[in-house]
Structure 1
Amino acid sequence: MQKFDAIVIGSGQGGNPLAKKMAEKGWKTALIEQRQLGGTCINDGCTPTKTMIASARIAHLLSRSETWGVPNQGYTVDLPAIVARKNNVVEQFRNSTAKSLEKAGVTILYGTASFTGVKTLSVALNDGGTQELAAEHIFLNTGAAPYIPEIPGLRDVPYLTSTTLQDEVVVPPELIILGGSYIALEMGQLYRRLGSTVTILEKSPQLMSKEDPDVAAVIKKILEAEDIQVLTSATTEKITGGKDNIQVQIQTGGKSAAITGTHLLVATGRLPQTAALRLGKTNVTLDEKGYVQVNEQLETSCPGIYAIGDVKPGPAFTHISYNDHLLLYKNLFEEAALSINTRQLPYCMFTDPQLGRIGLSETRARQEGYPVKVAHLSMDKAARAIETGETAGFMKAIVHEHTGQLLGAAIIGTEGGEIMTVLQMAMLGGITATQLRDMIFAHPLYAESINNLFMTLEK
């Protein structure tokens, strides 16, 4: 039995920096990783998808270049080159992570960890054999994996996930996507721009069910403008077929329909990876979906065992996982007593244009009883958007009617996430809508239209 001060299970965007900092503080620290260093973000999520989305945007701009007075002689999509570029970026990030951990003195073990007792672990090493470990502080960072729903016939056809689709080196001629949330929409637009015919099937009445209806409607309109077929209130009844010939039987609007395609992407959500941990050997409590339950300091029901990142309930974003590590580090080493209940939750969907979100939606604010005013500015009224020729989307801010404080914002537009971040900082600093209306912004930035956004409250 090898004893450590701390063991981190999973090399995600919270686990890596936490392991590094604990080791640098003198704690004997082990990091156990089942696959590759970097977790979902570097290997399957943010890094590879945004790298490929950048390539798809170039293709899209080339297809529309005459709009800007720059006709071209046509272009081709070299998907193997796009995938190779993606793989190179992933490898670069992964290697940087490894060097950082090794320099800090973290012991890295590649294998599958499972509890044998409250504070003891057995690691089935990838290269054979097992290793027994123990520590007083254990951090669960095992993340989540694609959820595959129980649809008749689904497991009998060659379906793809967001992970496996990215390794395809031939553009799928006809891509059917189950799901209508962030991953589904990003991947749908990405492969449409690379040349796929894309159909998105969402069982709920609107895309992105957690967003305001006007936000979902505009995103749907943007996707449909690129000839993506979007079907909402579409219940999948069964799936049949085989390689390059898949049929999805759906029920929509009280009628049955058959959707055919060459490839099927399942993007119906993710579930936590907790089964292999054998948490029954501990006092750690899981919820009905298998997520690790934590308190506001990220500690589980078993003292000394913590959970960070997507393995716990709540928003599954890389930046939240990273903030989890900061909170834990400051609480453990600086007695900061920070809570997850008081932090901001910004996020961005990287369709083109982007959706940047912070704080309460209009729907949620009204449900919670806030007296609200809504500032709204269409992007075709924003000078910078008009000048660049990219006018899809809008800016929307939820404002407390009496105090002028910002409660939330949704920005759909080019660099929408960056504009949202300006408003996020205003919220953190207590800057009011009136102050933002009168603030000096450099001309002609997208952010300058924040002036005009809050002028709409006067109408």
Structure 2
Amino acid sequence: MKKFDALIIGSGQAGTPLAFRLAAEGMTVAIIEKGTVGGTCVNTGCTPTKAYVASARRMWDAQHSEEFGVILKGEAQADLKKIKARKDQIVAGSVNGISKGFADDPKITLVKGQAVFVSDYVLRVNEEEYTASKIFINTGARALVPEEYKNVSYLTNESILELTELPEHLLIIGGSYIGLEFGQLFRRFGSKVTIIERSNQIINREDEDTSNAIREILEGDGVKFLTNVQNIAAKDKAGKIEISYEKDQKDHIVSGTHLLLAIGRLPNTDQLNLEATNIERDKRNYMLVNDYCETNVKGVFALGDCNGKGAFTHTSYNDFEVAASFLFDQKKRKISDRILTYGLFIDPPLGRVGMTKKEAMEKGLKVREAYLEMSKIGRAVEKGETQGFLRILVDDKDQVIGASVLGVGGDEIVSGILNLMVSGTSYTALRDTVVLHPTVSELIPTALGKLK
């Protein structure tokens, strides 16, 4: 039995910084990783996909250069081998940095292998047992693959990043964040793309006009949508993927060369043999935690995607901050303190914080709205990027309760609104601010001056 002060399962965006913090506090730490260090964000999530988004943007710039008076000779082509090589280099830089950090810290031991529980405080890895009074689970999540697709040639958000040849026709099942991002970037690379969604509206958690505007942006790039379809089935046929579905009480078929499943995510908790412990989970297999990320077993914490409290890199990192505060900083941080913020990283992006308009109305709140189309903002016009709008919601106590910024810089702009919300400051502070000209942000005070 190998004894440590702390065991961490998973080196994602909570586990990695936690290892360094625990070590800095003088604790001996074993961090257990079955795959490549860095977790989803570094290896198959934010880092690689945003590298691809950047390449796709360069394709857009080349294809629209004449609109800006720039003449390019010849046709722009996406070289997926080079795009992937650039992505791999960026990922490797992060992975190597994390690995070196672990190796250089005498308090940290990196253990490669799958961890399974033997009991509440004992883990087995590669036939060896490890124990500690503090255990932190940061095992992340993976793509959901329903049974009906397991005998079909399919891609997930991980395997699609390993392609070196562009799909001729990429079929995507799932019209939410992952599906939309991959759909747009592969269309810009030159693939034909069809996104298939059961619901009538893509990304259902957003307001209807937000979803419609996003759909219009992607359709402008040439992405085709099949929405409100039922009885979806897939099969391999003559070297292609054939999708059958029902729409308007009629049977249809669409064929493609590749199939991406972007249906949802599953926590990796099923790989831990939690049945050997007293750790409680919900019906979706997420581990139940309190406001400090601690499970019902004292000293055992669940961080990141596996606790179902965020499913974003920034919420995973905040889980690390919450757990560290619980242990060393007088419990100054709590999960319930954070305001939900996230983005959809299509181009132009969507930045979101707090409630949607739909959520506010369903709660019966008295809401005033600031709304402005990007086409009315001078800097957006000058940039030639007028798609989208900004919406800010204010309650009857003059507090901002939500915002959606769809358009150029939306993913960055929304953070300023988040800061206002976290501080509890009246919306008038932003309304009365003198903002730098010429920027997209400078029209936010103008919009807030015309609440409806």
Alignment TM class, shorter chain as reference? over 0.9
| 209-218 or 243-252, larger mean C-alpha shift | 243-252
Q: Which residue of 1 aligns with 2:417?
A: 423
Q: Which residue of 2 aligns with 1:180?
A: 175
Deviations 1:100-136 (A, max 9, x none): 2233331000000001111001002xxxxx2210000
| 427-436 or 296-305, larger mean C-alpha shift | 427-436
* Alpha-carbon distance in structure 1 between the residues aligned to 2:163 and 2:446: 44
Letter in 2 for 1:139: F
Deviations 1:274-307 (A, max 9, x none): 1221111111011112111111111111111100
Corresponding position: 1:139 with 2:136:
yes
* Alpha-carbon distance in structure 1 between the residues aligned to 2:238 and 2:178: 23
Q: Structure 1 residues 136 and 348 mapped into 2: Cα distance closer, same or farther (>3 Å)?
A: same
Q: Which residue of 1 aligns with 2:435?
A: 441
Q: Which residue of 2 aligns with 1:390?
A: 385
Q: Which residue of 2 aligns with 1:31?
A: 31
Q: Which residue of 1 aligns with 2:113?
A: 111
Q: Which residue of 2 aligns with 1:75?
A: 76
Deviations 1:176-200 (A, max 9, x none): 0000111110000010000010000
* Alpha-carbon distance in structure 2 between the residues aligned to 1:441 and 1:250: 51
Deviation of 1:242 after TM superposition, in Å, equals 4.4
SS at match of 2:114: strand
* Alpha-carbon distance in structure 2 between the residues aligned to 1:242 and 1:410: 42
Deviation of 1:255 after TM superposition, in Å, equals 2.1
Q: Which residue of 2 aligns with 1:272?
A: 267
Identity across the alignment (%): 40
Q: Which residue of 2 aligns with 1:101?
A: 102
Alignment of 1:32-51 (within 5 A): 32-51=32-51
* Alpha-carbon distance in structure 1 between the residues aligned to 2:331 and 2:184: 43
Q: Which residue of 1 aligns with 2:449?
A: 455
From 115, 120, 123, give the equivalent of 1:121.
123
- Conserved? CA contact 1:244–1:261, under 8 Å: no
Q: Structure 1 residues 116 and 225 mapped into 2: Cα distance closer, same or farther (>3 Å)?
A: same
| 48-57 or 253-262, larger mean C-alpha shift | 253-262
Deviation of 1:235 after TM superposition, in Å, equals 2.3
- Conserved? CA contact 1:157–1:243, under 8 Å: no
SS at match of 2:162: coil
* Alpha-carbon distance in structure 2 between the residues aligned to 1:320 and 1:166: 24
Deviation of 1:403 after TM superposition, in Å, equals 2.2
Q: Which residue of 2 aligns with 1:150?
A: 147
* Alpha-carbon distance in structure 1 between the residues aligned to 2:76 and 2:421: 44
Letter in 2 for 1:118: D
- Conserved? CA contact 1:176–1:263, under 8 Å: yes
* Alpha-carbon distance in structure 2 between the residues aligned to 1:237 and 1:214: 26
- Conserved? CA contact 2:122–2:129, under 8 Å: yes
Q: Gaps (5+ residues) in structure 1?
A: 125-129
Q: Gaps (5+ residues) in structure 2?
A: none
Corresponding position: 1:216 with 2:211:
yes
Q: Which residue of 1 aligns with 2:317?
A: 322
Letter in 1 for 2:370: A
| 189-198 or 203-212, larger mean C-alpha shift | 203-212
Deviations 1:65-120 (A, max 9, x none): 11111121222211100000000000001111112223333100000000111100
Deviations 1:283-341 (A, max 9, x none): 10111121111111111111111000001113210000000001110110122253211
Q: Which residue of 1 aligns with 2:55?
A: 55
- Conserved? CA contact 1:244–1:263, under 8 Å: no
Deviation of 1:243 after TM superposition, in Å, equals 7.0
From 289, 297, 303, give the equivalent of 1:308.
303
TM-score (norm. length: structure 1): 0.96
Q: Which residue of 1 aligns with 2:406?
A: 412
Deviation of 1:236 after TM superposition, in Å, equals 4.2
Letter in 2 for 1:362: K
- Conserved? CA contact 2:154–2:258, under 8 Å: yes
Letter in 1 for 2:434: I
Q: Structure 1 residues 243 and 5 mapped into 2: Cα distance closer, same or farther (>3 Å)?
A: farther
Deviation of 1:216 after TM superposition, in Å, equals 0.5
Q: Which residue of 2 aligns with 1:263?
A: 258
* Alpha-carbon distance in structure 2 between the residues aligned to 1:55 and 1:329: 37
Q: Which residue of 2 aligns with 1:65?
A: 65
SS at match of 2:449: helix
* Alpha-carbon distance in structure 2 between the residues aligned to 1:202 and 1:71: 38
Q: Which residue of 2 aligns with 1:292?
A: 287
* Alpha-carbon distance in structure 2 between the residues aligned to 1:150 and 1:68: 49
- Conserved? CA contact 1:119–1:135, under 8 Å: yes
- Give the number of equivalent residue pairs: 450
Give the alignment's Cα RMSD to 1 decimal.
1.2
Corresponding position: 1:8 with 2:5:
no
* Alpha-carbon distance in structure 2 between the residues aligned to 1:294 and 1:205: 34
* Alpha-carbon distance in structure 2 between the residues aligned to 1:141 and 1:287: 17
Letter in 2 for 1:83: K
Q: Structure 1 residues 311 and 72 mapped into 2: Cα distance closer, same or farther (>3 Å)?
A: same
- Conserved? CA contact 1:377–1:456, under 8 Å: no
SS at match of 1:156: coil
TM-score (norm. length: structure 2): 0.97
Corresponding position: 1:376 with 2:371:
yes
* Alpha-carbon distance in structure 2 between the residues aligned to 1:243 and 1:346: 44
- Conserved? CA contact 2:432–2:445, under 8 Å: yes
- Conserved? CA contact 1:203–1:235, under 8 Å: yes
From 147, 153, 166, give the equivalent of 2:161.
166
* Alpha-carbon distance in structure 2 between the residues aligned to 1:78 and 1:243: 27
- Conserved? CA contact 1:158–1:242, under 8 Å: no
| 410-419 or 253-262, larger mean C-alpha shift | 253-262
| 352-361 or 294-303, larger mean C-alpha shift | 294-303
SS at match of 2:358: helix
Q: Structure 1 residues 91 and 430 mapped into 2: Cα distance closer, same or farther (>3 Å)?
A: same
* Alpha-carbon distance in structure 1 between the residues aligned to 2:189 and 2:239: 18
* Alpha-carbon distance in structure 2 between the residues aligned to 1:283 and 1:5: 21
From 426, 431, 434, give the equivalent of 1:432.
426
SS at match of 1:162: coil
